[in-house]
């Protein structure tokens, strides 16, 4: 399957999915050093800098959308400003623009576990509802490298969305 890698960082989603035979057809990363490193490591993948300036109509066809979107607005260590954060708080809506335009079969999102509890659960309720409204089955899992015998504790929430089958 073909996938896109939004908020691509170092390319963790890219490495994981390509190791399973999937092909990355597009990436986006705003951090200039990470963008350059991504280009160096994956030179055949078209990459943009700012997700807010992307012409979504020009993105190649894909079945999987991956996004490790900014966690600062939802982290216990941050201000917990959520959607009110001027820039980072709006990135979920940027992801939704891709989902609405392309309706990928699968969506894989990554963030801090506090996202689920943020703002007394209202943040997660909103996100879950938005994803479900586009006909996705939505699940989440909180996991850490230590769960896979890697000596690091760094919990993350992984949100997995699968398009509901059309029965007709």
Catalytic residue numbers, as ranges: 71
Rounded distance between C-alpha atoms, residue 137 and residue 109, angstroms: 13
Residues whose CB falls within 8 Å of the CB of residue 74, separated by 6 or more in sequence, listed in order? 80, 82, 111, 112, 114, 115, 118, 123
Residues whose CB falls within 8 Å of the CB of residue 132, separated by 6 or more in sequence, listed in order? 138
Rounded distance between C-alpha atoms, residue 35 and residue 43, angstroms: 11
Rounded distance between C-alpha atoms, residue 3 and residue 151, angstroms: 30
Rounded distance between C-alpha atoms, residue 8 and residue 30, angstroms: 9
For 48-77, letters b (16+ CB in 10 Å) and e give beebeebeeeebeebbbbbbbbbbebbbee
SS3 at position 48:
strand
């Amino acid at each position: 399957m073909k996938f896109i890698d939004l908020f691509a960082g170092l390319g963790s989603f890219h490495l994981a999915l390509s190791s399973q035979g999937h092909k990355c057809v597009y990436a986006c990363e705003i951090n200039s050093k990470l963008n350059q490193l991504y280009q160096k490591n994956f030179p055949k993948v078209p990459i943009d800098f700012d997700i807010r300036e992307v012409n979504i109509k020009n993105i190649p066809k894909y079945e999987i959308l991956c996004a490790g979107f900014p966690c600062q607005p939802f982290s216990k260590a941050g201000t917990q400003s959520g959607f009110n954060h001027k820039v980072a708080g709006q990135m979920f809506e940027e992801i939704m623009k891709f989902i609405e335009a392309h309706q990928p079969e699968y969506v894989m999102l990554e963030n801090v576990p506090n996202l689920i509890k943020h703002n007394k659960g209202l943040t997660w309720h909103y996100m879950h509802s938005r994803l479900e409204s586009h006909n996705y089955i939505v699940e989440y899992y909180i996991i850490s490298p230590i769960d896979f015998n890697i000596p690091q504790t760094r919990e993350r929430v992984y949100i997995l969305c699968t398009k509901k089958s059309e029965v007709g």
